[in-house]
Structure 1
Amino acid sequence: MDPHQRLAKQSGVVMRFGRLLLSAGASSYRVKASMARMARAVGIEEHRASVSFSDIATTAYANGTFRTELYENRTFGVNANRIDQLKELSHNLHDDMAAEDLEEELDKIESQGPLYGPVVNALASGIACAGFCFLNKGGLYECLAVLIAATFGQALRRITLHRKFNHFAVWLLCGVLASSIYIGAIEAMGAMGILNVAQNQAGLISAILFLIPGFPMTTAILDLVRMDFPSALTRTSYVLAVMASAGVAVWGVTYASGWDLNVQVNHPMPWWLLITLRFFCSFIAAWGFAILFNTPWKVCAVAATIGASVNTLRTIAVDNHFPWHAAVGAAALAIGLLAAAVAAKTYYSRVSLSVPAVVIMIPGVPFYRAVTAMNNGLVTDAIAQVVQVFFVITAIGFGLAIARMVTDTRWIVDTPTDKLPTLESSSRKYIR
C-alpha cells in the first residue's frame, strides 16, 4: 500500500476514536491520551493533537510522510457507556494492530443505541429532581410537583436534542415547560386546599435542575487543572450559555406568574428520619443523573451508593456548622478516591462513577436565583449568589483534582500527551 494511503487509514481510525470520545463527553486529556495510545498501536511514529470542546486537530507522522486532519464536533451530549467501552478498548491496545480491525471494533461501539428508552429516561429525570427537591428542603407536595415537571421537561429535551435543535433554544424551551408545569401543579393543589401556594414556591428551582450540565461542568474543571485551556474555556462557555438560558426561562415564567422563589419553609422531622431520607434522596438523585448520562445500571448503582454515602455525611457536617465550601471539597475528594478505587478494579471510567456522585452537590439553586435577582435589578444579591456558586464549584474541582493527583502520577508529572506510550497486551479482567 502507498505510504500516504496507509497513513490515511492509520490516522483516520485514530481520529474516529477521538471523535467518539469527544462526542460522548470525555475530557480533553482523556481524548488526547487515548488517541496517543491508539496511534502507537497502529504504527504511527508521532501523533500530535489539539482538542477543544468543539474541535479536534491532529497531525500524524509515519512512513516518511505526515497527515493533518480536522474534526468539528457538533454533538454536545453525554454517553458514559460509550466512554467506558472506549476506555476498555484503549486499555486492551497493543503494538502492531491493524487499523481495519480497530475500525470493526469502533463500528460495534458506535452502532449501539441508548441503554434506556424515552420513558425511563424522562422518569429518571423526574425522580432525580424530586430527590434534589427534598435535599433543598422541599416538602412532599413540592417533590411530587417537581417529579411531574422534570419528567415532562426531560421528555421535551430528549425529543428536541434528537432532532438537532440548538442547545440554547432547547434549554430555554425546557425551562419554560418545566417551570410552567410546576407552577400549574402547585396552583392546582392550592385551589384544592391541599397546600399553601406561597409556602411551596421555592421548589420551582428543583424542577429544572435536570438542566444543569453537570458532566461538561466537571470535565471543564478537570481540563482546567490539566491546563488544557482551549477545552476548559469552551466547555465553560457552553455551561454558562445553557444555564443562563434556563435561568432566563425561569425568570420569565416566575415574573409572569408573580412568584417569589426566595420563600423557604422548613419541614421539621426526627433526626434519624431526616438522615435516612437524605441518604435515599441522594441515592435516587445520583442514580437518576447516571441514567441521564446513559450509564449502565451496575455503574449507576455504584455511583449512586458513593454519592449518597458521601453526600449524607457532608450534610451532617454542614448541620454541625462545618464550612459549606470545605465540606463540598472534602466530599468531592472522597468521591474521587472511591471512584478511583472502583475504576482500578473494573473497566468503568472514573468520570462515569464520580460525575453522577458530585453533580448532586452542584449548587444550581443559587445560580438560578442569581439570574432572577439580576433580571430584577438586584445586582448585590445576584453577585452574592454567584460568589457562592463559584466557591462551591471550585471546591468540587479541587477535591476531584487532588484525588486524581493522589491516585494517578500522570496528573502530578506534566507529561506531554503527544509522547506515544509504550503498550503491552492487557491480561486485565474487567468486571462487567
Structure 2
Amino acid sequence: MDPHARLAQQSAVVLRLGRLLLAAGASSYRVKSSMARMAKAVGIEEHRASVSFSDIATSAYANGTFRTELYENRTFGVNADRIDRLKALAHNLRTDMSVEELNSQLDEIEATKPLYGPIVNMLASGIACAGFCFLNKGGWPECLAVLFAATVGQALRRATLHRKFNHFAVWLLCGLLASSVYIGIIELMGVAGIIDPNLYQAGIISAILFLIPGFPMTTAILDLVRMDFPSALTRSSYVLAVMASAGVAVWAVTYTFGWSVDVHASYQLPWAVLIALRFFCSFIAAWGFAILFNTPTKVCAIAATIGATVNTIRTIAVDAHFPWHAAVGAAALAIGLLAAAVASKTYYSRVSLSVPAVVIMIPGVPFYRAVTAMNNGMVTDAISQIVQVFFVITAIGFGLAIARMVTDTRWIVDVPTNTLPSLESSSRREIR
C-alpha cells in the first residue's frame, strides 16, 4: 500500500478515538494521551495533537510522510461510561495492532446505547436536586417542589438536546420551565393552606441546579492545571455561557413574580438526625448526578459513597467554624485521593468517580443569586456572591490537582503527551 494512503488510515482511526473521547466529555489530557498510545499501536512514528473543547488538530508522521487532520466537535455532552470504555481500550493496546481491529472495537463502543432510559434520567435529576436543596438548607416543601420541577426540567433538556438544539437556548428554556414549575407548586401549597409561600421562595435556585455543567467545569479546571489553555478556556467559556443563560431564566421568572432568592424558612433538627440527613442527601445527590453523566451503577454507588462521606465530614467542619473554602479544598483533595485508589484497581476513570462526588460542592446557588442580584442592580451583593463562587471553585481545583500530582508523576513533572512510555514496556494496569 502507498505509504501516505496507509498513514491516512492510521491517522483516521487515531482521530476517531480522540473525537469519541472529546464528544463524551473527556479532558484534553486524556484525549491527547489516548490518541498518542493508539498512534504507537498502529505504527505511527510521531503523533502531535492540539485539543480544545470544540476542535482537534492532529499531525501524524510515518514512513517519510505526514498527514494533518482537523475535526470540529459539535457534540457537547457527557458520557462517563463511554469514557471508561475508551480508557480501557486505550490502555490495553499492544504494538502492531491493525486499523481494522481497532475500528471494530470502536464500532462496538460507539454502538453502545445509554445505560438509562428517559424516566430514570428525569427522576435522577429531580432526586439529585431535591437532595441538593436540603444541603442548601431547604425544608421539605422546597425539596418536594424541587423534585417535581427538576424532573420536568430535565425531561425538556433531554428532549431538546437529542434534537440538537443550541445549548444556550436549551439552558434558558429549561431554567424558565423548572423555575416556573417550582413557583406553581409552592403557590398551590399556599392556596391549600399547607405553607406560607413567602418562606419558601429561595428554593427556586435548587430547582435549576441540574443545569450546573459540573463535568465540563471540573475538566476545565484539570486542563488549566495541566496548562492546556485552549481546552481550559473554551470549556470555561461554555460553562459560563450556559450557567449565565440559566441564571437569566431564573431572574426573569423571579422578577416577574416578585420572588426573593434570599429568604429561607428556618428549621431545627437534632444533630444526629441532621448529620444522617446530610449523608443521605449527599448520597442521593451524587448518585443522581452520576446517572445524568451516564455512569454505570457500580460506579454511581462508589462515587456516591465517596461524595456522601467526604461532604458530610466537610459540613461538620464548617459547622465547627473551619473556613468554608479550606474545607472544600480539603474535601476535594480527599475525593481525588479516594477516586485514585479505586481507579488503580479498576478500569474506571478518576473523572467518572470524582466528578459526581465533587459536583455537590460546586456553589451553584451563590452563582445564580449573583446573576439575579446583578440584574436587579445590586452590584455589591453580586460581586460578593461571585467572589464566593470563585474561591470555592478554585479550592475544588486545587484539591483535585494536588490529588493528581500526588498519585501521578505525569501531573507533577511536565511531560508532553506524545512522549508516553512505549507500549511494549507498559503494564496492563491503567495509566490515568
The bucket for the TM-score relative to the shorter chain is: over 0.9
The alpha-carbon deviation at position 419 of structure 1 amounts to 1.9
The alpha-carbon deviation at position 64 of structure 1 amounts to 1.2
Q: Percent identity?
A: 82
Q: What amino acid maps onto 2:214 in structure 1?
A: G
CA contact (8 A) 1:39 1:420 kept: no
2:429 & 2:26 partners in 1: Cα distance?
23
CA contact (8 A) 2:126 2:149 kept: yes
CA contact (8 A) 1:47 1:420 kept: no
1:65 aligned partner: 65
2:327 aligned partner: 327
1:371 aligned partner: 371
CA contact (8 A) 1:282 1:360 kept: yes
CA contact (8 A) 1:124 1:292 kept: yes
1:317 aligned partner: 317
Residues 118-157 of structure 1 correspond to what in structure 2 (within 5 A)? 118-157=118-157
CA contact (8 A) 2:19 2:73 kept: yes
> After the TM superposition, which of the residue ranges 66-75 and 417-426 deviates more from structure 2?
417-426
2:209 & 2:351 partners in 1: Cα distance?
20
Residues 175-214 of structure 1 correspond to what in structure 2 (within 5 A)? 175-214=175-214
2:74 aligned partner: 74
CA contact (8 A) 2:303 2:353 kept: yes
- SS state of the match for residue 96, structure 1? coil
Q: What amino acid maps onto 2:89 in structure 1?
A: L
- SS state of the match for residue 107, structure 1? helix
Q: Which structure 1 residue ranges, 4+ long, deviate > 6 Å from structure 2?
A: none
1:426 & 1:195 partners in 2: Cα distance?
63
The alpha-carbon deviation at position 267 of structure 1 amounts to 1.1
The alpha-carbon deviation at position 265 of structure 1 amounts to 2.2
CA contact (8 A) 1:94 1:425 kept: no
1:36 aligned partner: 36
1:337 aligned partner: 337
2:136 & 2:427 partners in 1: Cα distance?
46
The alpha-carbon deviation at position 428 of structure 1 amounts to 4.1
- SS state of the match for residue 203, structure 1? helix
CA contact (8 A) 1:92 1:425 kept: no
- SS state of the match for residue 208, structure 1? helix
The alpha-carbon deviation at position 418 of structure 1 amounts to 2.0
Residues 283-298 of structure 1 correspond to what in structure 2 (within 5 A)? 283-298=283-298
CA contact (8 A) 1:46 1:418 kept: yes
CA contact (8 A) 1:36 1:421 kept: no
Q: What amino acid maps onto 2:353 in structure 1?
A: L
The alpha-carbon deviation at position 113 of structure 1 amounts to 1.4
Q: What amino acid maps onto 1:180 in structure 2?
A: S
> After the TM superposition, which of the residue ranges 263-272 and 128-137 deviates more from structure 2?
263-272
CA contact (8 A) 1:46 1:420 kept: no
1:282 aligned partner: 282
Aligned pairs, how many?
A: 430
2:162 & 2:349 partners in 1: Cα distance?
25
Q: What amino acid maps onto 2:264 in structure 1?
A: Q
Q: Under a length normalisation based on structure 1, what TM-score does the superposition of the two structures give?
A: 0.98
The alpha-carbon deviation at position 424 of structure 1 amounts to 3.4
- SS state of the match for residue 115, structure 1? coil
Q: What amino acid maps onto 1:222 in structure 2?
A: L
Q: What amino acid maps onto 1:81 in structure 2?
A: D
Per-residue CA distance 1:16-61 (angstroms, 9 max, x = gap): 0000000000000110011000000000000000000000000000
Structure 1: runs of 5 or more not aligned: none
Q: Under a length normalisation based on structure 2, what TM-score does the superposition of the two structures give?
A: 0.98
- SS state of the match for residue 345, structure 1? coil
1:385 aligned partner: 385
CA contact (8 A) 2:221 2:397 kept: yes
2:64 & 2:359 partners in 1: Cα distance?
47
1:351 aligns with 2:322: no
1:270 aligned partner: 270
1:158 aligned partner: 158
2:223 & 2:248 partners in 1: Cα distance?
28
The alpha-carbon deviation at position 426 of structure 1 amounts to 7.2
1:93 & 1:428 partners in 2: Cα distance?
9
The alpha-carbon deviation at position 124 of structure 1 amounts to 0.1
CA contact (8 A) 2:344 2:429 kept: no
The alpha-carbon deviation at position 152 of structure 1 amounts to 0.4
Structure 2: runs of 5 or more not aligned: none
- SS state of the match for residue 221, structure 2? helix
The alpha-carbon deviation at position 108 of structure 1 amounts to 0.2
The alpha-carbon deviation at position 266 of structure 1 amounts to 2.0
2:407 aligned partner: 407
Per-residue CA distance 1:370-428 (angstroms, 9 max, x = gap): 00000000001000000000000000000000000000000011001122531138774
CA contact (8 A) 2:84 2:349 kept: yes
CA contact (8 A) 1:149 1:182 kept: yes
- SS state of the match for residue 50, structure 2? strand
- SS state of the match for residue 66, structure 2? strand
Q: What amino acid maps onto 1:122 in structure 2?
A: M
The alpha-carbon deviation at position 176 of structure 1 amounts to 0.1
The alpha-carbon deviation at position 218 of structure 1 amounts to 0.2
- SS state of the match for residue 47, structure 2? strand
1:254 aligns with 2:254: yes
1:92 aligns with 2:92: yes
1:388 & 1:113 partners in 2: Cα distance?
39
CA contact (8 A) 1:92 1:426 kept: no
> After the TM superposition, which of the residue ranges 136-145 and 173-182 deviates more from structure 2?
136-145
The alpha-carbon deviation at position 83 of structure 1 amounts to 0.3
- SS state of the match for residue 60, structure 1? strand
1:227 & 1:32 partners in 2: Cα distance?
13
1:419 & 1:13 partners in 2: Cα distance?
19
CA contact (8 A) 1:93 1:425 kept: no
CA contact (8 A) 1:93 1:424 kept: no
Q: What amino acid maps onto 2:416 in structure 1?
A: P
1:383 & 1:139 partners in 2: Cα distance?
27
